[in-house]
């Protein structure tokens, strides 16, 4: 049996503890939120960063690719939408 060996890219950017820190919490002080504002999150962010050795060799520089499909909805848009929805919840009039 002749099996091909596939080398999986090394994953970078994973917190050393293995614990997920929500994106909005990590950057809260840089975002337009006040203390106590509600935060809406699906645990987006912290997607893996993969080395791209073939692209790195082609361009002569280190290239890394974000695996955005690892977000809850599989979209890079999760990052912006969590901020937009959280901001709307903070500023929406109470009914």
Residues in the chain predicted with pLDDT less than 50, given as ranges, are 6, 8
Which of 8, 7, 11 is CA-nearest to residue 70?
11
What CA–CA distance (Å, rounded) separates 93 from 39? 16
- pTM of the complete model: 0.61
Which pLDDT score is estimated for 60? 96
Distance of CA 95 to the CA centre of its chain: 33
**Cα–Cα distances in Å, from 33 out to 52, 78, 92, 94?**
36, 18, 13, 18
User: 12-33, pLDDT tens digit by residue?
Assistant: 555 555 566 777 888 888 988 8
Domain boundaries, the chain: 20-91
């Amino acid at each position: 049996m002749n099996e091909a060996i596939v080398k999986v890219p090394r994953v970078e950017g994973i917190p050393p503890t293995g614990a997920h820190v929500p994106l909005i919490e990590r950057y809260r002080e840089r975002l337009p939120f006040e203390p106590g504002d509600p935060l809406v999150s699906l645990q987006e962010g912290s997607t893996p960063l993969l080395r791209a050795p073939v692209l790195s060799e082609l361009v002569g520089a280190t290239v890394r690719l974000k695996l955005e499909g690892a977000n809850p909805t599989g979209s890079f848009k999760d990052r912006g939408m969590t901020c937009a929805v959280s901001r709307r919840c903070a500023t929406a009039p109470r009914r």
